[in-house]
Structure 1
């Protein structure tokens, strides 16, 4: 899903001659590239990111070894582990996504993990602990989190599964439409169109059946 949002936005603007003022989407679309894209177009994004729900749980908040829970000294740019050891900045690295988007991460490493009584709960890798932090993505996540936890964000989040997820569940689970049987964009479009028509006819039939009673 992550790589499809730019095309969705382009298609929407091309079809309707304008762009959405706000967008609601699940964590499949919550990437640095997508947040930057929406921010650049002035779109208010109510878009989750991976681990949004997990980080709300007490267990995750109380995990002292989780990177997001480590103390960070922004002024001197270093982290501190639960054992009190400093993880110093050692350089930058680039990470390239499946669609070619390049992100920069900062690397931090400890120096004396051997013999640490907390090591078994801290990390399993050989040598000293090494972490990578995407500070720009964290800034964007902070903005997303603030929006998602706001009153307006809660409203959008409550509406999205009702409007979208129920349809997916009905078509994929109840009607067992889990894959296309045709090949080629034109044939796939026809097949999906027939499924959508059938879905709407079922809703129409149920509506009139309920009216009759």
Structure 2
């Protein structure tokens, strides 16, 4: 399983393909597909290579969507989503064979804590609301949420959170934000997670 972790970390250093932010294929939003799958891969690694039954079922569905969109893409976009598809599919096949799903109370508590952190970060991002749409689309910034929370879990500092948010804003939303604002948001995210640990 360590090679999945290594390959996933290599993959996260790849930029989101240019020119497809906001695009849909057969009704599948490519940015959300990327973010949702990445969030589940982060959970899989963070939960010691396991998933809850609910997350496992969701990853299976996302794997089908990844296969669908990959076949319709070309060039860098196709390579990017093919890599994500292969990682997700490998995890689905592994969990299908081993049945290593989270069922004990300790792991359930870990899942609840992850959900609490995710929900608090969502509140912070919706208060910031760089697109001005949070009043009507509650989960608009969940992709940033996954990126920021993942960076915090891996590195534990506000600088890594700021880098993750800036990268996502530029690559997926084509938004530039000031260092001052990104520092403020990153600090809020770090403090919110630490207060709930």
Q: TM-score range by the shorter chain?
A: 0.3 to 0.5
Which of the two has greater strand per residue? Answer: 1
Which of the two has greater helix per residue? Answer: 2
TM-score (norm: length of structure 2): 0.32
Structure exhibiting the larger radius of gyration computed from Cα positions:
1
Q: Which has the higher contact order (CA 8 A, sep 6+)?
A: 2
